[in-house]
């Protein structure tokens, strides 16, 4: 990202990691695959809040077919680490039986959030469930998950910006920063 300065959120410094242009290119790739795979279908995008909102907005702008979008909210982070438990804060109320679901996540780290959500969603009898994630940290994964739509794999570093936060701060940044 070259000219972007190091930033401080709360007590932690972060340095530039991915520019808005690099993020856009990665999202273009995911959208192109979804457009091809879901041509003629009407998927329901299930966005995991809060972190997934920016990725979802840009991804859905690039999706060319008919679709619907709903939001669920869960929490599994505190500070810079996963708590290892998931609190479901706001659940899915829509009837998803027979629907193609695409879960939209900001980041798949340990996989705990998805490990918790997938059985709940499968019990509602959708036709299919796929995962679209902005970031995936393969070195952190603790659960067996199938991830078919990943914008970018990243190392096991803590990142903020573009929807991802550090104790509530940094979500509004248009680029991504990594802990310095």
Read out DSSP for 70-100?
EEEEEEEEETTEEEEEEEEEE---S--TTPE
Phi, psi of 56 (to 5 degrees): -60, -45
Catalytic residues: 109
Name 141's Cβ contacts closer than 8 Å, sequence gap at least 6.
Answer: 108, 109, 110, 111
Mean pLDDT, residues 106-115: 91
- Which of 49-53, 86-90, 135-139 has maximum average pLDDT? 135-139
- Structural domain count of the chain: 1
The overall average pLDDT reported for the chain is 90
CATH number at 53 reads: 3.40.50.2020
143 within some domain: yes
Q: Are 136 and 153 in contact (CB under 8 A)?
A: yes
66 within some domain: yes
Would residue 101 be called left, alpha or beta, if left means φ above 0 and alpha means ψ between -120 and 50 degrees? Answer: beta
Q: Closest Cα to residue 163, out of 125, 111, 107, 124? A: 107
82 within some domain: yes
The pTM is what? 0.89
**Residue ranges making up the domain that contains 66:** 20-34+41-179
Q: Which residue has the higher pLDDT, 64 or 117?
A: 64
11 within some domain: no
8 within some domain: no
47 within some domain: yes
27 within some domain: yes
Q: Between 20-37 and 53-62, two packed helices, what is the crossing angle to 10 degrees? A: 60
34-81 per-position pLDDT tens digit: 999 999 999 999 999 889 999 999 999 999 999 999 999 876 555 555
150 within some domain: yes
């Amino acid at each position: 990202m070259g000219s972007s300065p190091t930033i401080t959120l709360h007590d932690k410094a972060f340095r530039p990691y991915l520019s808005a242009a690099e993020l856009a290119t990665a999202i273009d790739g995911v959208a192109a695959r979804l457009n091809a795979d879901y041509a003629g279908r009407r998927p329901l995008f299930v966005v995991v809040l809060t972190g997934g909102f920016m990725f979802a907005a840009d991804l859905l702008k690039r999706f060319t077919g008919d679709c619907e979008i709903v939001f669920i909210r869960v929490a599994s982070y505190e500070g810079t680490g996963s708590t290892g438990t998931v609190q479901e804060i706001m659940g899915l109320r829509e009837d998803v039986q027979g629907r193609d679901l695409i879960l939209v996540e900001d980041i798949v780290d340990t996989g705990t959030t998805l490990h918790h959500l997938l059985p709940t969603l499968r019990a509602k009898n959708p036709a299919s469930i796929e995962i679209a994630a902005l970031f995936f940290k393969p070195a952190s994964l603790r659960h067996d998950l199938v991830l078919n739509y990943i914008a970018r794999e990243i190392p096991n570093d803590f990142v903020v910006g573009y929807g991802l936060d550090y104790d509530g701060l940094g979500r509004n940044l248009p680029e991504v920063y990594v802990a310095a």
